[in-house]
Amino acid sequence: MWAMHRRRCLFRSLLCLLHRANALSAASAPGAIFHLGHVPLGLVMTSEFESENVFVDEMLTTAKRISRDGYGILATDESIPTAGKRLASIGVDNTYNNRRAFRELLYTTEDLGRHISGVIMFDETLYQRSAGGVRFVNVLRDQGILTGIKVDTGLQNLAGTNGETATQGLDGLGERCKAYRAEGASFAKWRAVLKIGSGMPSDRAISENAHALARYASICQEHGLVPIVEPEVTLSPGDYSIERAAYEGERVLSHVMRVLNQHDVIPEAMILKVSMALPGLDAVFGDSCKEEVAKYTVRTMKRCVPPAVAGIHFLSGGMGAEEATQNLQALQRECPHAPWTLSFSFGRALQDAVLKEWGGKEQNVQAAQQLLLQLARVNSEAQRGVWDEEHPTPGGGRLSLPKLSYSSERRRSADLFNW
């Protein structure tokens, strides 16, 4: 299987070189005209196109600011039903005021801006205010934190697939981007979900979601919002290996980056949000997990993501809070001189313990905020590769089973691709 995989990689590399050679040859011909769909990677983005976008300089600054070392993103863009499930876990009703109160707890945490560069909001939250009447966007701005907005409208089943999904929300997106920018948003997020399973992710699901992500990113940049592109290869049931997870991640990411290029998305003015390479939920994986996760995750990024991309922010889905921090630090140690910032965009890993500490009670707000600040700090330190203390919420990681046993052949196959 892995010998076949190596042959496919070599074939793709040779094919790419051939396409480039043909394109360069054609470019030298008098009156040569290119069609966007046939231009190879690296020849599409032109300074002439970028100069037409009046927001380019602002978006470049925003993307760099969000992705600078030592900072990450706090994801608080849960939909109203999802927020309700979180509140129900602590016995609190899913009301507008309760959702607003928890958001205020998060956003008014003193010194949060020392570790968090951006916060992703849901539509409802963008228009909310603190108890003192200050808009949340301004509360964050006073700490130097930029506001982002989730702009997709959720998932729908994709016809002709085995339960796979496509993300909705392109209708009216341009007008919504204008409105969000007017309200103070600097960036946006769109999430696609791809499952690993028998015959999944399918070519149809990859193609459908890649094109939606690219169209979204193009519309955002047209209206001055930095797009966070999130093709999440979600942690799925099954005992598939970490090699399989990395391989499927490559399939998805390579196609997404190609289609982004075809849609003239400016890579320096976008941020990528992705999953780490993790084995299936039923896989046996243990003591050396963080090193394996880092090795395969970094390999996937190096193979698929152009160095021009402003930053790669990893989500924490499927991992405990401590596990996510450990894996984040392992990424820095695996690739200390990465061409992009490798950082975090965590939701549950930053919020779950804080939510429990709060419990819906006003007297617990200060303690909950202190916990959030500690969690933000340790992940900031992990992002810089210098975290060396006990985690504020130890335990709870999924990957704590006996060490996975690799065959010598799989070891050799993996070693061939070490960077």
Catalytic residue set: 230, 273
Return the structure tokens found at 301. Answer: 């990024």
Distance, in Å, from the CA atom of 280 to the CA atom of 299, rounded to the nearest integer, reads: 19
Return the structure tokens found at 168. Answer: 């909705």
Beta-bridge partners for 273:
313
Distance, in Å, from the CA atom of 282 to the CA atom of 244, rounded to the nearest integer, reads: 14
CA distances to 73, 158, 252 from 383, in Å: 12, 36, 25
The DSSP annotation for 34-100 comes to --GGGPPTTSS--HHHHHT-TTHHHHHHHHHHHT-TT-EEEEE---HHHHHHHHHTTT----HHHHH
- Residue 311 φ then ψ, to 5°: -165, 155
Distance, in Å, from the CA atom of 419 to the CA atom of 406, rounded to the nearest integer, reads: 20
Distance, in Å, from the CA atom of 412 to the CA atom of 407, rounded to the nearest integer, reads: 9
